[in-house]
Amino acid sequence: MLRTHYSSQITPQYDGKTVTVAGWVAKIRDIGKVKFLILRDKEGEVQIIAKKGDILDSLVDTITSLTRESVVSVTGKVIKNKDAPGGFEIVPEKINVLAKAEAPLPLETDPNIKSELDTRINFRYLDLRRKEVSAIFRIKDVVHRSFIKYLEAEGFILAHVPCVVSAATEGGTNLFPISYFENEAFLSQSPQLYKQMLMASGLDKVLIVTPVFRAEEHNTTRHLNESTQMDIEVAFVEDEQGALKYIEGAVNFIYKEVVKECKEQLKILGRTLDIPLVPFKQLTYTEALDVLKKDGINIKWGDDIPPEGERALCKNFNPLLVTKWPTDVRAFYSMPEPGNEKICRAYDLLIDGMEISSGAQRIHNYNILVSEMKRRKMNPKNFEFYLNAFKYGMPPHAGWSIGLERLTYIICGLKNIREAMLWPRDRTRLTP
């Protein structure tokens, strides 16, 4: 057997027992007659002690010949030692070198040595051997799982929809075209049209987690060209509040789960999380502009709120839901406010100065939807498959989407969203 125990499963009470641990050579310390091999596995580190004379010379030689980050499996006896990390060490009886690592390493795995993000991504598998990096992806995993867990408990069904599509949803300029047999197709920017069509199916509440692709040219610390969206759509809502209650619940639950499940990872990242309490503060777009004005940030009514505005708003209220946006800055499917069509029932969720999610109640009337598309110079013919769903019984509905990497970036307190993606895609990066 290559492994009987992970490092975290062994305690000083194992004194005298034989175990087999396996992992990477994190460090070799040589102090004359004694050699220490620090072995790292998924759970932490364990110290192997090799004293000349106490163990076979061949084992000492094997340890001496090991390069850092080589993969080994070590069988030996656990010895209680209060001076060793974890209160024990292992005296080896057998060392199996499973894969020798080349030296020098292209990326330092020592946590005290900082490397450029670009080099880190080039050698992500080495980068992930550092606990402050793997902590991010363990937290991301809990964010993703708890999103699903919360919504499933609320009666949502997990749905899967295509990523190869024929039409734009969030505006036509940032689509990646692909060749699809004899036709042109695109990589999906959002599962929007499909989740809306599902509202005409009787499923009522769906959730989707999917990669999305946006050919945005700007190179920022908050945008990726491929990211993961966590979406919901819910039918039979009276207004946008029918979907907002789920965003409050989901975000509150995700934070609670991360605090509960990722204590160690949060500690490694030096993060203390404040769990956002329900209900979240809501301001209309117009009220938000007034708050910003008092802070000396003037935004013309009808313009989008820039990142500096989002940061300033969160200094006043965190988290914050900004509702009732000007119709013209939101997507075509957003429901205009009856009687005041300059405003629509769209919203954004801001946390720690960043847009985490956006959504809206949707137009569910076929004729209004077609005329809204025409007003925006969109060709309804390109959306026939979608529009048809509004002809045969489409209930009122609303939904939203949380950017998984955005939320991970905020929860982990990262400097760049690329750190929340294993292999990010940006303007200049297509490999690895």
Contact set with ligand AMO (CB under 6 A): 170, 190, 192, 214, 216, 223-224, 227, 229, 231, 355-360, 399-401, 403, 405-406, 417
Which residues, in sequence order, are bridge partners of residue 429? 426
Given 5, 223, 345, 425, the catalytic residue:
223
22/36 Cα distance (integer angstroms): 15
Given 214, 345, 362, 397, the catalytic residue:
214
**Nearest approach, Cβ of 21 to ligand AMO (angstroms)?**
39
**Nearest approach, Cβ of 343 to ligand AMO (angstroms)?**
16
412/272 Cα distance (integer angstroms): 9
Annotation marks residue 130 as catalytic: no
Residue 52 has what DSSP assignment? Answer: B
Annotation marks residue 334 as catalytic: no
Annotation marks residue 223 as catalytic: yes
254 Cβ contact partners less than 8 Å away, ≥ 6 residues apart? 142, 143, 146, 147, 150, 407
Q: Are strands 336-337 and 88-99 parallel, antiparallel or unpaired?
A: unpaired
Closer by beta carbon to ligand AMO, 26 or else 344: 344
Q: How is residue 361 written in tokens?
A: 């109640």
Closer by beta carbon to ligand AMO, 143 or else 360: 360
Residue 32 has what DSSP assignment? Answer: T
Cis peptide, bond prior to residue 326, ω within 30 of zero: no
For 210, phi then psi, to 5°, come to -150, 150
Closer by beta carbon to ligand AMO, 48 or else 350: 350
Annotation marks residue 222 as catalytic: yes
Given 358, 362, 397, 405, the catalytic residue:
358
Closer by beta carbon to ligand AMO, 22 or else 175: 175
**Nearest approach, Cβ of 175 to ligand AMO (angstroms)?**
13
Q: Report the residue number whose CB is nearest to ligand AMO.
A: 403
Annotation marks residue 355 as catalytic: yes
**Nearest approach, Cβ of 38 to ligand AMO (angstroms)?**
37
**Nearest approach, Cβ of 100 to ligand AMO (angstroms)?**
39
Residue type, 95: I
Annotation marks residue 116 as catalytic: no
412/268 Cα distance (integer angstroms): 10
Closer by beta carbon to ligand AMO, 109 or else 188: 188
- In 3-state terms, what secondary structure has residue 206? strand
Give DSSP secondary structure letters for 373-431.
HHHTT--GGGGHHHHGGGTS----EEEEEEEHHHHHHHHHT-S-GGGGSSS--BTTB--
356/338 Cα distance (integer angstroms): 27
365/240 Cα distance (integer angstroms): 16
**Nearest approach, Cβ of 231 to ligand AMO (angstroms)?**
6
Given 93, 154, 216, 257, the catalytic residue:
216
Given 222, 271, 311, 429, the catalytic residue:
222
Closer by beta carbon to ligand AMO, 69 or else 233: 233
As annotated, the active-site residues are 214, 216, 222-223, 355, 358, 406
